[in-house]
Chain A
Amino acid sequence: MFLVEYLLKRLAQGVVIVFLTSLIIFTLLRVVPGDPVRLIVGGMANDTVVKEVAEKMGLRDPIIVQYGRYIAGVVQGDFGQSYVRPRNGMVVAGGEYIDPTKSNMAPVIDLVVERLPLTLMLAGMSLVFALLVSVPLGIFGGLYPNRWPSSLALLVQSVFVSIPNFWLSIVLILFLSVKLGWMPALGYQGFAYVLLPAIVLAVEICPFLIRTLTVSLGEIMQAPFIDEARVRGLSRWRIVIGHALRNAAVPLVNLLGMQLSVLIGGVLVVEYIFDYPGLGHLTVLSVVARDFPLIQGIAILTSAVFVFINILVDLITYAIDPRVEL
């Protein structure tokens, strides 16, 4: 009963956060330079055309009115239609006169839903890779401080943290795809296409995971109850698995929640480099095209995902350590 009450409260908070995010994004998009109408009608069109189209699209109304109109749609599940992407998938080029209010433009929700699974798969795979590397390194680093496992952990994290992702992407493409031909590099035609970008993203989050795990496990191993467990007769294996790792997992789980933001940031660059048709790729293109409805849709969706993941993280933390106040 208590948990249900808690969940309702957190979800209500989450809705408020998502609304605030959308308001900020909405306002900022309209304040920063760059007129979508100019991009739609093309550089050669004269100012009266720009003005006409803009008024027709409602872009000259006060921002708050525009926002009200937009959010009323969102509540009904209508995120609007893209300014520049027609249903058939072609991107409209400048100079060609189109009417963006016409129904042949792709709805934002379709565009996002189409890309989202690909990005989730990429993020999931990179988390798997990152955990595969950092969990063993972090555990042994934490168990044997000042010996070679902890030096190895330190070495790996220092190297990984100093590799820029765009550079690594290019190097991996060059060696694994071009020279050795092991993996496909660009685009997406199947699961194998996820691997390279996932590796790049994994390298980006690995150092944080290794560091957190090493430090928290090292600290826990110094705790009196771990020391005392030995004289109480528990085996070392039982102490480490059953008690030390359990306690060390709390900061790790919290970090994983926060690393999500690193992943989102990383996805923008990496998807673009690998021409991977995910949400990041879509975001870059829509920002370049000033495709307001699309940018807003992605922002709202991303913040909703954040809120959800954070609730999940708090619940997992509570399950491990019930002292944590919910």
Chain B
Amino acid sequence: MSDTRTREPVLSVRSLTVGPTEPGSAAILSDLSFDLHSHEILGIFAETGGGKSVLSRALANWLPPTLEFRGGDIRFKGKSTLDGTGHSMLRPGREIAYIGSRPQSSLDPTIPVGPQLVEKLRAVRPEISAADARKKILKLLAEVRIPSPEERFNEYPTKYSGGMMQRAMIVDALSTDPAMIIADNVTQPLDVTIALQIVRLLQQLARQHGLSVLFLSSSLSTLNQLADRVVVLQNGRVAEIGETQALINAPATPYTRTIIDQIPRIWRSTAAPAVSTRSADQPIMSVRDVKRTYYVRRPGHLNSYNSVQAVRSVTFDVMPRDNIGIVGESGCGKSTLTRLLTALEKPEQGEILFNNRPFNQMPQKELTAARRGFQLLLQDPYNSLPPRMTVGRMIEEGMRIHGIGKGAGMRARVEQAMTDVGLPTSIYNHLPNSLSTGDRQRISVARALVLEPQLLILDETVSALDQSEQNKLLALFSRLQAEKNLTYIFISHDLAMVRRVCSRIAVMYLGELVEIADNRNLFYSARHP
């Protein structure tokens, strides 16, 4: 869209500097300058914690009270939005609309979605009558392809899925006819397929409504899908600005180059898919025709239930030293399968054998002992670690339960496990609250490792991390595998990641295992869409 280049930019940021209100503290954004032209989609790339949210909040006049403008200017349609004292005069929500990364918690859970969108529209533009506002919201809901908008209008936010909620938030942003939209990491909480839908939708709406979009993301591949130009931020400064294609094909700075190299190239033949390391022994775990149905109480009725077949007739074997990936969209039954595999729940039908012993025939004591052999690693490293327990104590706990090791011996093993996963042993007595997401995940790994398991079940273990942390952890997993003869089950919605590390991949769709094949075969001749 080079024809827009000649016009005056919609938004122009000049040497913007933002930092904490505390005097003497380091600035978060320094000397930032870029332009957003009309009808343009400008991508802004920064790693997690790289100042994306601060930038979008600064532009939307939504800085938290702990941050302040330190210098520079933000000009919107040629007029400065900052007054002399470093405060923005922009009326939030009117000309510059904001869409965030937390669609599920953006609206009041106690009020239906529609009325809240109407409330916002009328708060920003009081001249619109309630009836007109309702009509407009319904029209926009249809436009973002929310099915049966009339009914959805009166439903509560909890009834909306993540993708639908993000669509509703797009409606919320569009309703006031803004000139530009700030989309701050909008695809981050969604799984790949839904995220792609949202990206396409935004692109199309921007064209239809003549919007300029500032799209901030920590995924360069997402930006590649929609941005006309990309700004790369490094430590709160502009590292590089350029046309998207040019920038990705010929990055000018070493920083950009490293970022690009970290993107898993799923369709490029240069990156060889993982080779099978499995041996031809007996399966370590085999799943035979397993079924599990949930009964959900139907709202508004006392005695009727909807049954959901979360997992139906799933059968597969896991060989020692095999990396098996289980992929599927959100809600296809992955989590239920995880719960079955770890014997947290019992299947209704079929059985799961671990080292040739079926779970359902094990007495409670044997099951506890067997649990040593397989360990589960979860997605959310914040909620899966007890916040008031020291790191060392947390890792020890499994050993205490299984009654292995005592006193100094136990401590030595814990420290060994910490070294194995790359944690400094100096944090043995620390609480986890000051640790980064990656380090928290390392604690979970160490916690599993001290028990010397044969099988690790990784349920979206790395999806909460950003690209470079993901790479580090995946490298750690393959090193541990080589050292300790581990077997992994990766459960994920991220095909690219799974392809890189797994030798066999199983695809789940609506509770069924629709395909299971070796890595290469699956990707080159997929039978199920």
Contacts and interface: CB of A to CB of B under 8 A. Distances in A.
Interface of A: 2, 5-6, 9, 223-225, 228-235, 238, 242-243, 246-247, 320-323
A323 B112 CA distance: 11
Nearest to A3: B300
Interface string B95-107: 0001010100111
Contacts of A323: 109-110, 156, 158
B110 A231 contact: no
Interface of B: 57, 60-62, 91-94, 98, 100, 102, 105-111, 119-120, 123-124, 156, 158, 172, 176, 300-302
B interface secondary structure, majority = loop
A232 B301 contact: no
Contact of B156 (A2, A235, A238, A322): A322
Nearest to B156: A322
A233 B176 contact: yes
A320 B92 CA distance: 28
A231 B98 contact: yes
Nearest to A9: B302
29 contacts: A2-B302, A6-B302, A9-B302, A223-B105, A224-B102, A224-B106, A225-B105, A225-B107, A225-B108, A230-B62, A231-B61, A231-B62, A231-B98, A231-B100, A232-B120, A232-B124, A233-B91, A233-B94, A233-B123, A234-B93, A234-B119, A246-B108, A320-B110, A321-B109, A322-B156, A323-B109, A323-B110, A323-B156, A323-B158
Contacts of A322: 110, 156
Contacts of A224: 102, 105-106
Given A224-B102, A234-B120, A246-B108, 17 more contacts: A2-B302, A5-B302, A6-B302, A9-B302, A224-B105, A225-B108, A225-B109, A230-B62, A230-B92, A231-B57, A231-B92, A231-B100, A232-B98, A238-B119, A242-B119, A246-B111, A321-B109
Of the listed residues A2, A224, A232, A321, the one surrounded by the most CB atoms of chain B closer than 10 A to its CB is A232
A interface secondary structure, majority = helix
A235 B119 CA distance: 11
B59 to A, nearest CB: 10
B105 A232 contact: no
Contact of B92 (A6, A223, A232, A243): A232
Contacts of B60: 231
A242 B107 CA distance: 12
B302 A234 contact: no
Contacts of A2: 300-302
B110 A233 contact: no
A257 to B, nearest CB: 19
Nearest to A247: B110
Contacts of A231: 57, 60-62, 92-93, 98, 100
B101 to A, nearest CB: 10
A286 to B, nearest CB: 41
B302 A243 contact: no
Nearest to A235: B123
